[in-house]
Amino acid sequence: MVQSLVESTMRGQVFACTKNSEEECFNRLLFGANKVYGPSAMKVKKGDFLFLLNLSNDVVYGIFKATSDAKMNIEPKAWGGRYPYQVKVEPVGRIIPLKNAKKLLKKLNIKRTTRMKRATTTRLLELYRPEGSTRDKWLHSLFGIREEKELKVRLESPRSWSLLSEAKRIERKVDEDIPMLEATTLWDFPKQSYGKHPKGDNKYPGVTPALIIWNLVWRYTEPVDLVLDPMCGSGTTIDVCKEEGRRVIGYDIAPIRPDIIQNDSREIPLSNDSVDLIFIDSPYGDNIRYNDHPDCIGKVSSETETFYDELEKVMKECHRVLKEGKVLGWLIGDQWVKKRFTPVGFKVYERLCKYFETLDIVCVTRRGQSSHTGLWYNRARRFNFFLRGFKYLLIMKKVSPDVLAKNKDARKIDWTYYKRKELGAS
């Protein structure tokens, strides 16, 4: 029973350092991560088992326990502010390094982007178990559980590779991978949601892939920042933000959940400069029946200027409530219907540029459409048209009018040019 209780509460996480940052980790008893590994680091809870991987000398130090939940900037000056996602730690017994760490962790299928669950944590803890100590007593000692005689553990030199074969016999359950930030401007998400808990409703018309919002949240906000979705639909933004520790407000003209507030996005009831991130997945015409509300913008054809005039009212409100220097993400697609193409994305982008500076434009692969069938693919080839394969994610930043005007001027850049091989040269 005790063993079952111990193992059921077991969680672990691997942090990393280099030869330049290792000493500060030990002196401060503090582990930290940058934005790439922040999503995983911020899941750490008090009592989790932690390990420190030195990337320079290829050793992993253990065992540590978290003495706090992970937070932003527990010690803001640590590592010069480069690793703000932090957790306080304490050593469990004597700190021991395991050599050949990268190979070892790979063998155990342990990633820095994954918060280890019971089975994986146990596998790694096993490598630190001193010779002569049974597995049950070892686990009990780690949790500070007293038996008739308190167990005194004296750590000896680790036998990392000799213990590996024994550790591999422990039951293996798949851990939940925490997503990685997208690195290119082409995003393709095979599933609408991620993780154990659904985000939004994948049956909702035009539902947003949750990892679009996740990427924006982790790139452009910090925990406790305020995120706004003025066209919240099935609530995907709300679900992502709650799981990632952000405050969130979701509006919709026809809400379908109690945590979505009824409101028209053309008049947002928030004060000026109050929001840290805005995400909008707007209609791109009257091709989808979202709801029966008479004022829904999705009832207006994108082949008319009225459609863009109404969306521009939303843009003005977004600009008003967004803090300067903060980001708006707008997801939009083009339209092709009855032999006419409408570049909805370009038209929306042109309007956005009146108010915002462009940070980047991402192409998001469209999946889950009713036209993604062999029948429609055959029709597209036979009748010489293209199915819509992607949407635009327009990533814009609010800047002052002076900065916006200045940034339209050409800059002088010292490009590096490489000598090209002349034609005919051997």
Top-tier CATH class for 2-167? alpha beta
Q: Enumerate the β-bridge partners of residue 94.
A: none
Who's near 20: CB < 8 A, 6+ residues apart? Answer: 56
Q: Output the pLDDT for position 144.
A: 62
225 and 277 Cβ atoms separated by less than 8 Å: yes
pTM: 0.84
Instruction: Name residues of the chain where pLDDT drops below 50.
Output: 1-8, 146-175
Determine the Cα–Cα distance for residues 38 and 70; give it in Å rounded to an integer: 10
Q: What are the domain boundaries of the chain? A: 2-167, 186-406
Q: Output the pLDDT for position 9.
A: 59
First-to-last C-alpha distance (Å) of the chain = 76
Q: Which of 96, 76, 98 is nearest to 86 (CA)?
A: 76
Q: Which of 330, 321, 319, 329 is nearest to 398 (CA)?
A: 319
Determine the Cα–Cα distance for residues 155 and 394; give it in Å rounded to an integer: 55
Find the DSSP H helices in 184-304.
210-220, 236-243
Omega prior to 63 cis, within 30 of 0: yes
127 and 163 Cβ atoms separated by less than 8 Å: yes
Who's near 242: CB < 8 A, 6+ residues apart? Answer: 248
Domain 186-406 annotated CATH 3.40.50.150: yes
* 73-122 residue pLDDT tens: 999 999 999 999 999 999 988 888 898 899 889 888 888 888 888 888 88
* 118-176 residue pLDDT tens: 888 888 888 888 777 777 777 777 766 543 333 333 333 444 444 444 444 434 444 45
∠ CA 243-395-199, nearest 5°, is 25
Name the burial class of residue 6, with classes exposed (0-12), middle (13-18) and buried (19+) by CB atoms within 10 angstroms of its CB: middle
